[in-house]
A and B are shown apart, each in its own frame.
Chain A
Amino acid sequence: MPAINLSKAAREPGQASRVFDLAEMSLRELNQALHDLAPGSNETAWEVLHPRGSHSVAVGVDQPVAIDVRGSVGYYCGGMNDGGTITVHGSAGPGVGENMMSGQIVVKGDASQYAGATGRGGLLVIQGNASSRCGISMKGIDIVVHGNIGHMSAFMAQSGNLVVLGDAGDALGDSIYEARLFVRGKVESLGADCIAKEMRPEHLELLQGLLDRAGVTGVKAAEFKRYGSARTLYNFNIDNADAY
């Protein structure tokens, strides 16, 4: 997938974006208008003003529109996004991009807990730091965090890629399945069954592609370490019977 200039995506020359000022209109009106978009609609550029920490901004978008949110949002921004390109020009509260299916979400600031939780597809980029439980139970989403991530990130992560340019907190990848974790900085500790793995050429190539898509420059794939599942928790081990 080619790199996209996210803030300008889908904005044709001369085409005005549709502006929703949440200081004057309700969140329900915004989300309903987004849900009412017919396939192939020409209203592909949207701007949301004064979100002031509102919950559920641009949840359930299912058309390939570009939405610029001018400020910080609360819980679940861009949840279930399926094809939208959502840019938060601020920070995001808990659960940004939860269960994203496809499309892209870029958070210019920080993200709170469980960013990208259970996400099945698409790309989530956090340009600041993400908090605890980033990518928990991820199921195919790609997440790129420019800063650090908190504890218990990628807990039970099933598939997809989590890329962290900074450091990771405690218990990274606890009980992980087949997601791939790439961390450039320090990992405070690894969770149960998560181990450091060899970075093979196909991983370097995959990682470079993710960095390119996320607009990361000046950082080489070779600077990262790869972590993943040791696969020792996949089957019940009789030697562990005493632990229960």
Chain B
Amino acid sequence: MCGIVGLFLKDKSLEPQLGAMLSEMLISLSDRGPDSAGIAIYGAPSSEAKITIQSAKPERDFRGLDAELAKAIGAPVSIAAKSTHAVVRTMPAKIDEAREAVQTLRPDVRIMGAGDVVEIYKEVGLPEAVVDRFGVREMTGTHGIGHTRMATESAVTTMGAHPFSTGADQCLVHNGSLSNHNNVRRELIREGMTFETENDTEVAAAYLSSQMAHGKNLGEALEGTLSDLDGFFTFVVGTKNGFGVVRDPIACKPAVMAETDQYVAFGSEYRALTKLPGIDNAKVWEPEPATVYFWEH
């Protein structure tokens, strides 16, 4: 099981509703995965870069962190806390330093993801509880992906929830299970990638990050999953300006897509798409097995 959704807006007038639309899509798939949920929203570009962090003890960990980070990296830092998560903002040139400083200053804090525009929120619980907790419905953005999880390959924890982010503004949600993730993880570790979990999906995310770091575009990187990853998968992937979908050749994990002049949408089931504007006249189709679909702004 697991339910995944994705929404890539073409019509800028819908951007203020991105969070609300994506939240509804994910909530409609709650019974595909009740144990944890997560969402990644690609917001408007600004002069600052962002790191989304998470803590089991947010009051303790987030208090005063902005001043401590600013001192550590020698640049202005702001923090906006939302429940167990917080978004750290600073100048783009200092983002790697800020990330290291977070880990030094607050060893218990987990990094959800980082980049120029992405924010990632994920927790144990039902989609509705997760989107309410983080105010996802109020979020504005250009595109986003979401996941509701029925765990199979690793523990039910915040870090085991999707989306997984392994590169700047890159993240991935997955329905399925990979069988060669241990081998691929070892190869990627040799290349210098680091992993936070034993989860198979994190390996898929890191594989794509590695391919794109070697100069491949999103489409080429997704194409590589078909030969290099073994197992069941429907992946929905976001990058800073792109959105992609690929299914393994067996394609037993369900997938439906819809496209209008206003958006491209993905859902594990048609139920996820029924409240989208103009869905009755949208082009609706089941993505073909072993076929890469991607869109870029």
B269 interface residue per 8 A CB criterion = yes
Instruction: Give the docked Cα–Cα distance between A113 and B274 (Å).
Output: 20
Interchain CB contact (< 8 A) of B270 among A74, A131, A150, A151? A74
A52 interface residue per 8 A CB criterion = yes
- Nearest-neighbour CB distance to chain A for B269, whole angstroms, equals 6
Q: 12 A-B residue contacts at CB 8 Å?
A: A52-B271, A53-B273, A53-B274, A54-B271, A72-B274, A74-B271, A93-B269, A94-B254, A132-B251, A132-B252, A132-B289, A151-B249
Interface on chain A toward B: helix, strand, loop, or mixed SS?
A: loop
B228 interface residue per 8 A CB criterion = no
Residue of B nearest to A94 (CB): B254
Instruction: Give the docked Cα–Cα distance between A130 and B239 (Å).
Output: 32
- Nearest-neighbour CB distance to chain A for B283, whole angstroms, equals 11
A110 interface residue per 8 A CB criterion = yes
B286 interface residue per 8 A CB criterion = yes
B91 interface residue per 8 A CB criterion = no
Instruction: Give the docked Cα–Cα distance between A94 and B255 (Å).
Output: 10
Residue of A nearest to B251 (CB): A132
* Residues on the A chain within 8 Å of B285, using CB: 110
Instruction: Give the docked Cα–Cα distance between A110 and B270 (Å).
Output: 12
B249-291 contacts to A (CB < 8 Å): 249, 251-252, 254, 256, 269-274, 284-286, 289
Residue of B nearest to A112 (CB): B286
Residue of A nearest to B288 (CB): A150
**Cβ B286 vs Cβ A53 within 8 A:** no
Interchain CB contact (< 8 A) of B269 among A53, A131, A132? A53
**Can you list, as one digit per residue, whether each of A68-112 has a CB less than 8 Å from chain B (1) or not (0)?**
000010110000000000000001011000000000000000101
* Residues on the B chain within 8 Å of A54, using CB: 271
Shortest Cβ-Cβ A-B pairs, 5 listed? A53-B271, A53-B270, A52-B274, A72-B270, A131-B286
- Nearest-neighbour CB distance to chain A for B60, whole angstroms, equals 44
**Cβ B274 vs Cβ A112 within 8 A:** no
A13-57 contacts to B (CB < 8 Å): 52-54
Residue of A nearest to B252 (CB): A113
Residue of B nearest to A50 (CB): B274
* Residues on the B chain within 8 Å of A74, using CB: 269-271
Instruction: Give the docked Cα–Cα distance between A93 and B274 (Å).
Output: 13
- Nearest-neighbour CB distance to chain B for A177, whole angstroms, equals 22
**Cβ A91 vs Cβ B284 within 8 A:** yes
Q: Told that A93-B270, A113-B252, A132-B289 touch, could you supply 15 new A-B pairs with CB distance under 8 A?
A: A52-B271, A52-B274, A72-B270, A72-B274, A74-B271, A91-B270, A93-B269, A94-B254, A110-B285, A112-B256, A131-B286, A132-B251, A132-B252, A150-B251, A151-B251
Instruction: Give the docked Cα–Cα distance between A150 and B252 (Å).
Output: 12
